[in-house]
Amino acid sequence: MLKNKGITLIALVVTIVVLLILAGVSITAVFGDNGIISGAQKAKDKTDEAIEQEQEDVGKLVNQLEEFERESLPDTVKEAIQKGTIFTVNKQIKDENGKTMTVPKGFKVKEGELIENGVVIADSEGNEFVWVPCTVGEYKKHDYEVEEIDDTSNKADGENNDKGWNTRSYRLYSDWKDDEIDEEKNKKSVEENKGFYIARYEAGVPSNADFYVDESTSDKSYKDANSKDTTQTKTGENLKPVSKAGNQCWNLISQTNAKEVSGRMYSGETYGVRSQLIDGTAWDTVVTWMSKDNNYKDIEKDSTSKGNYASSTNENKLEVSNTLFAEHLFKYKKEDSSNVGWCIGKSYQYGTFTSGYTANWTDTNGDASSKYNSYSNDTNTYKYNHYVEMATGASNNTKLKNIYDMAGNMYEWTTEYGYHNEQIGGTKYAVLRGGSFHYTSDEGPVSFRYGLFSADNAGFPSFGFRVALYVK
C-alpha cells in the first residue's frame, strides 16, 4: 500500500515537471525571439512595409502618368485655344509674352491669347471664368487713404472726396472680416499659381431650378422676393450657379445663401479648383488689375460707360437687343419722397430694351397691376421710378478684361461681413460690391463697397453675386 502511494507521488512530481517543461517550451514558442507573437509582429511589419512600398510605387506611377498627361497637353495659350483640349490635370501654360497661367483639370482655354488682357477658360458645361494674373503681394484689399469716415451716405476715398473707391456704411465700421473662407489657402494658391479665377458673368440661375427662365420660357412668372428666395435656397435642391452669357441673373438672394451655393459649384476631385463666393480681397485685386490698363484708366472712379446703371442721360444708356430682361418699379411716398419698396416685375421678356431709369414713371397703358407685384393705383399717394434688369453679359459695352457686368447690373455679395459695432449676435451685415441698375454710376463705380444690408436680406431684385475659383 505504501509502495503504491510512493509511485503515485513520484508520478505526480514527474508529471508536474513535464508540464512545467512543456509550459516553458510553449511560452518560448509564443513569446520568444523566434516565437509565434514575434513572428506575427515581424510578418505584420513586413506587410506594412510592403503596403507602404506599394503605395509609394503607386504614387510614383500616378505622378508619372500625370506628368505624361501634362507633357501631352498644350504648352501655350494659343495652342490650347486652337486644340480646344479639356485639361486632365492642372498645367501651367504661357502666352506669347512669356506670362504664365494655370489651366485647372476639367477646363479648356476658350479665348483671349494674352494673359494680361484676360484669358477665358470653360468647363464642359459652358461655364466661363477669367484668369486674374497677380503675385501674392498684389493679391490684397484696397488700403483706404481715409480709413475711418462717416459714410452713411456715399463717400469716395481721399480728403477731397475725388479718388474713387466709394463706400457707404463701410468705413464707418471697423469690424469687417471674411466669412467661412480659408484665406491662407487662397493666398497659397495665388502664390503657387500666380493668380486666380473670377466668374466671367454674374451668377446665373441653373436650368434645373423651378424658377429658371430662358428665351423659350420668357413669359414665365417672375416670382416675388419671398417666394423666389424660399424656392431657390430650399435645402436638398443642391442647385449650383452658372457662369454663362445671356442667362437669367440669380438675384433676390441673400449673402448667406449666395455663399452656400457658390461653394457647391466645384467640389470634389472632378475639377482642379475650389469655388467660393468672391471675397473683398479678390474683388479689389481685379479692380486694381483693370485700373492699371490704359484702356480702363480711372475705372475705379468712373464706370459710367461699362455698366447697366440708372443713367438718365442718353449718351450713357445701353441699347440692348436679343436678350432676357425684366422691368421693375420702385415706390416712393409723394408727400416726402421716402422709400416704400420694390414692385417687382411679374414676368421676363425677350427682346430689346434701353437701360437707365424713368423718374416719376406713370402707368400710361393702365396695365401696371398685371405687370408688377405690389403696384398701387393710388397715384395721389405714391410715385414710381422704372428700372430694367438685364441678363448676364447682354452687352459687350459692360466688358472689362473679358469680365462682364462688374460695374453695374447687380450689386454683388461678397464674403465680407460685420456687426456695425453691435455685439456679436446682433444683425449680421454683409458687403455688396460694384453698382446696379438701381444706382447711378457716380454713386456706384466698379470699386464701390456697400455695407448697408443684412446678410439675410433677399428682398432686392438688384442683389446678385459672383463666384471665384482657386486652383487646388
* List of residues 6+ apart from 465 with CB closer than 8 A: 202, 203, 241, 250, 253, 255, 258, 262, 277, 278, 410, 412, 413
Please name which of 267, 277, 244, 254 lies closest in space to residue 393, comparing C-alpha atoms.
244
Quick check: 234 pLDDT over 60?
no
Q: Is the pLDDT of residue 438 over 50?
A: yes
Q: Where are the alpha helices (DSSP H) in 237-279?
A: 255-264
Q: Which residues does residue 411 pair with via DSSP β-bridges, in sequence order?
A: 463
Q: Could you read off the pLDDT of 29-51 as tens digits, one per residue?
A: 656 667 666 666 676 777 777 66
Is a pLDDT exceeding 80 seen at residue 312? no
Bridge partners, 326 (sequence order): 389
Q: Spell out the residues 6+ positions from residue 140 whose beta carbon is closer than 8 angstroms to its own.
A: 281, 284, 285
CB 188 within 8 A of CB 195: no
The dihedral built from the CA positions of residue 415, 425, 155 and 225, taken in this order, carries a sign that is positive
Among 44-53, 197-206, 299-308, the range with the most confident prediction by mean pLDDT is: 197-206
Considering just the CA atoms, what is the radius of gyration of the chain in Å? Answer: 32
Q: pLDDT tens digit string along 424-433?
A: 678 999 999 9
Q: Are 463 and 432 in contact (CB under 8 A)?
A: yes
Question: Residue 36 region, left (φ>0) first, then alpha (ψ -120 to 50), else beta?
Answer: alpha
DSSP codes joined into one string, 337-406: --EEEEE-BSB-EEEEEE-S-EEEE--TTS-HHHHBTT--S-TTTEEEEEEEEE-TT--GGGEETTEESS
State the average pLDDT for the chain: 88
For residues 211 and 380, give the distance between their C-alpha atoms in angstroms, rounded to a whole number: 35
| Angle at 141 (CA atoms; ends 135, 144), nearest 5 degrees | 130
Q: Is the predicted pLDDT of residue 116 greater than 70, yes or no? A: yes
What are the beta bridge partners of residue 108? Answer: 122
Give the helix/strand (H/E) hosting 317.
Answer: none
* Residue located via cell numbers 460690391: 433
Q: Cα–Cα–Cα angle for 406, 267, 458, nearest 5°?
A: 45
267 falls in which pLDDT band (50, 70, 90)? confident
Please say whether the beta carbons of 414 and 431 come within 8 A: yes
pLDDT for 427: 92
pLDDT on residue 81: 98
- Percent of the chain surpassing pLDDT 90: 68
54: how many CB neighbours lie within 10 A of its CB? 10
Band of residue 3 on the pLDDT scale cut at 50, 70, 90:
very low
List pLDDT tens digits, range 342-391. Answer: 999 989 999 999 999 999 999 999 999 999 989 999 999 999 999 999 99
- Find out whether 103 and 122 touch, Cβ atoms under 8 Å: no
What DSSP assignment string belongs to 163-218? S---EESSTT----EE-S--HHHHHHHHHHHTEEEEESS--B--TTSTT---GGGT
Spatial CA neighbour of 239 closest among 221, 215, 212, 216: 212
Q: How far is residue 109's CA from residue 81's CA, in Å, rounded to a whole number?
A: 5
Q: Is the dihedral of CA 230, 251, 416, 200 positive or negative?
A: positive
Give counts: helices (H), strands (E), the chain. Answer: 8, 23
**HSE-CB for 166 with a 13 A CA cutoff:** 27
**CA 267 to the chain's CA centroid:** 12
Q: CA 105, 182, 244, 319: dihedral to nearest 10 degrees?
A: -140
Q: How many CB atoms lie within 10 A of CB 382?
A: 17
